[in-house]
Amino acid sequence: MSDFIQKVISNKLKTSLISYHSIAGGCINNAFQVKTDSGDYFLKWNKSPLLDMFRVEKKGLAILNAHSPVHSPSVISFGEMGGKSYLITEWINKGSQNDQFWENFGRNLALQHQVTMDQFGLDHDNFIGSLPQSNKQHQSWYSFFINERLKPQMNMASSKGLIDTNIQKKFDLLFQQFEELIPDEPPALLHGDLWSGNFMINSEGEASIFDPAVHFGHRETELAFTQLFGGFSPKFYHYYNEQYPLEPGFDERIDLHNLYPLLVHVNLFGSSYLSGIVQTLKKFT
């Protein structure tokens, strides 16, 4: 491992390695803090066949850095070497939240969500966790959400024997109602995988977001996912709504939006996440 890190640092960053240590928390990649003569960096690596996962992560971070007021790490280098693929970004030093942390985070995410385009999706596919995520573009949010989000995950879960035909039939009934249940919104620039594990407080006391699954989608899906596993203060939603008010009834739609991340978790971690899906389907069908 030390030989690989040494070669990446010397060949790609043209600097000398001082030390490195493993970072816990990720369930997909190997992650390290790397100290060098030119400063600290974040390095993660995996097997060479997963190079495309890092390629699209680089693209996603570049999009966020170009268009979002919320901080994301800059990509320093990515590629493959010695049978391993890797991504190197700037190192983010941890800090303590300042008094305006949740206000700034909420308002800045609202400003990010006001960045729009004429279609839902993106000009390239990416990943949600380690699973492929199709971003084929659609004019309609309902069409995009059904065909590029829910159906691929349903098909994957079905092929693994994790959901049965009864659940699939209930999804089909729900699909017929989406246009009435979810209000029209312009496509919004989304981080795409925003939960408490994918942001941190940096040394300036502000939020830094990382590990994106960027696309243009319905902004309510982003806000719904932030509530799935907790970790966001009520102040965050208050100031978001001040900056970019949500349509009435958002709280009643949260479970609909979270069908996608719950299906992702079923496919990644098993049937323990299925109960939330069943409850939502029972509620709306």
For the annotated catalytic residues, the residue numbers are: 193
CB 38 within 8 A of CB 15: yes
Q: What is the DSSP letter of 146?
A: I
d(CA 86, CA 249): 43
For residue 25, what are the CA distances in angstroms to 57, 93, 215, 216? 18, 16, 24, 27
d(CA 234, CA 106): 10
Q: Which helix (H) or strand (E) holds 40?
A: strand 39-47
Q: Which helix (H) or strand (E) holds 208?
A: strand 207-209
For residue 171, what are the CA distances in angstroms to 21, 98, 116, 154? 45, 43, 29, 9
Q: Residue 73: phi, psi to the nearest 5?
A: -65, 145
For residue 258, what are the CA distances in angstroms to 57, 206, 220? 22, 26, 10
